[in-house]
Amino acid sequence: MSALDSLHLTAIPPEAEALRAQVRAFLQDAVTRIPAHVRARSWGGYDSNLSRELGQRGFLGLTLPKEYGGGGRTPFDRYVVVEEFLNFGAPVGSHWIAERQSAPLILKYGSEEQKRSFIPAICRGEMYFCIGMSEPNAGSDLASVKTRATRNDKGWVLNGQKIWTTNAHNCHCMIALVRTSGTGEDRQKGLSQVIVDLKLPGVTVRPITDLSGDSHFCEVFFDNVQLAADAVLGREGDGWEQVMSELAFERSGPERLFSSIVLFDEWLAYVRTPQGRTPESVRLAGRIIAQLAPLRAMSVAVTGKLARGDSPVVEAALVKDLGTGVEQSIPALIADDLFRRPAHEVPLELLRTLNYVTQAAPSFSLRGGTRDILRGMIARGLGLR
């Protein structure tokens, strides 16, 4: 049986859907006054006050155990909450990675001390993590990691560099994939994950300004950074397996479909007006929704597998690859529609939102795994490699 045979039509349980009204009521008051071109940044947006508020209301760490400050609920509950965050364009970037994948990773592989040190603070929206995977000159070849942690009498000494690290300049810690034994030729062997306090001496974080003018990507340099002996997450040498598990968390959520959703909603609001409605725009709206609807169903099906305790690595890669394709097509299709109209008839805020999403869209198929990497995984899942 192929791994892809398991994406059955799955319904979100009523008890999870019941959360939607609570989240919407809060976000309606907290977010909707923010201009659309700012809300379009959503999980790239930084608002530590909002993150703390979400933590206090129990909207973070929903799937984590109550003994570590979580909600003890199901992946479906988290799916509903995240979907509402994205649909409203809530600026959730500060806690996003910590809550989505760092905390589940620590829960799965961490020591008891690591769980109690980090997970409750993440659930409160007070501690933020970034991911240290990509390195210069490595492209998508994650196994070519050169950053190295070497044992000494105090623990580990870390040297090397990471790049394209989202939000590192605002984070407290990084979970970095590093080499703890062997050489670069050993590929997946000898890799481990370490938790790095980004305020330690020897750590330098340098933001990179992107095409849109934002600076949420960073370079991170490690120059003889002294880590404690317990900085290793999980078992030394199991880093590759752990990273693959982490990436399944990253690729399986609704964020891989909805990066352009604020723009789409803003454009739909214009198309619903007498001056914005044309036969062509109505057909385009139907065309986009017809692509989003089955992708959302696939994403919910992946969530169903997570709820059953499976690890849907291949299925998540499939949804991510197809989802980012649709996300990238939305600004191009909307631009084609708007630029056929007299410029003075199109709302300025809609154009500003289109401008931002158009500039950000090329990154949609890079973050969380490039298209080529994902398609290789899908081919392997289908038995074609």
Residue 100 DSSP label: I
- The Cα 201–Cα 123 span in angstroms is 27
- Which string of b and e fits 217-236 if b means at least 16 CB within 10 Å? bbbbbbeebebeeebbbbeb
Report which residue type is found at 240. Answer: W
- The Cα 121–Cα 108 span in angstroms is 17
- The Cα 57–Cα 55 span in angstroms is 5
- The Cα 23–Cα 90 span in angstroms is 11
Best CA proximity match to 231, nearest among 147, 131, 146, 155 = 155
- The Cα 262–Cα 120 span in angstroms is 31
Of residues 84, 250, 255, 327, which has the active-site annotation? 250
Catalytic residue check, 250: yes
- The Cα 22–Cα 41 span in angstroms is 23
Tokens of 169: 């300049």
Looking up tokens 């479909």 gives 257
Alpha helices in 213-278 (DSSP H): 239-251, 261-271
- The Cα 368–Cα 320 span in angstroms is 9
Tokens of 334: 């909307």
Contact 293, 328 (CB under 8 A): no
| Residue numbers annotated as active site | 250
